[in-house]
C-alpha cells in the first residue's frame, strides 16, 4: 500500500483552517482517483509533554504503486495540492508532504 502523508502545523486561525479544510480541501482530496482511504488525525498532544508542533496529520492511502503514481499525475491531485497551498497561506499553517509505503 502506498501512502501520501501530509502534516500541518498549528494554524494562526484555527477556525478558518477547520472551515476551509472541512468544506473545501477534504472534498477535493476525496475526488483523487484511486484513493482507497483518507485518514485525518487531529494532534491532541505531545507524548513527552509540552505543546505539539503539529496540528493535523492526514494520510491518503492508495493500492499498488501504479495506482498511486496515476493519482499523483491526476488533475484532481493538482487541484488538491494547489488548494493545500492556499489553505496554509491564508490560515498561517505550514505543511510537509511525505511519501510512504506500508510493509
Q: How far is CA 66 from CA 22, 70, 88, in A?
A: 29, 6, 29
Per the structure, the complete domain to which residue 9 belongs is given by 2-44+58-101
Is 97 a domain residue?
yes
Is 66 a domain residue?
yes
75: nearest Cα among 28, 42, 36, 35? 28
Is 84 a domain residue?
yes
How far is residue 56's CA from residue 58's CA, in Å, rounded to a whole number? Answer: 6
* pLDDT of amino acid 102: 81
Q: What is the pLDDT along the chain (103 residues), one digit of tens a residue?
A: 899 999 999 999 999 999 999 999 999 999 999 999 999 999 999 888 888 999 999 999 999 999 999 999 999 999 999 999 999 999 999 999 999 988 8
DSSP 8-state code for residue 73: T
Is 79 a domain residue?
yes
Task: Give the pTM.
Answer: 0.92
Amino acid at each position: 500500500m502506498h501512502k501520501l502523508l501530509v502534516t500541518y502545523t498549528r494554524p494562526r486561525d484555527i477556525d478558518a483552517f477547520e472551515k476551509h479544510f472541512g468544506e473545501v480541501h477534504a472534498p477535493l482530496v476525496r475526488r483523487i482517483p484511486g484513493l482507497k482511504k483518507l485518514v485525518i488525525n487531529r494532534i491532541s498532544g505531545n507524548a513527552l509533554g509540552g505543546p505539539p508542533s503539529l496540528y493535523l496529520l492526514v494520510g491518503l492511502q492508495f493500492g499498488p504503486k501504479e495506482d498511486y503514481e496515476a493519482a499523483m499525475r491526476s488533475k484532481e491531485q493538482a487541484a488538491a495540492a494547489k488548494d493545500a497551498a492556499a489553505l496554509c497561506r491564508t490560515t498561517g499553517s505550514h505543511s510537509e508532504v511525505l511519501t510512504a509505503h506500508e510493509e
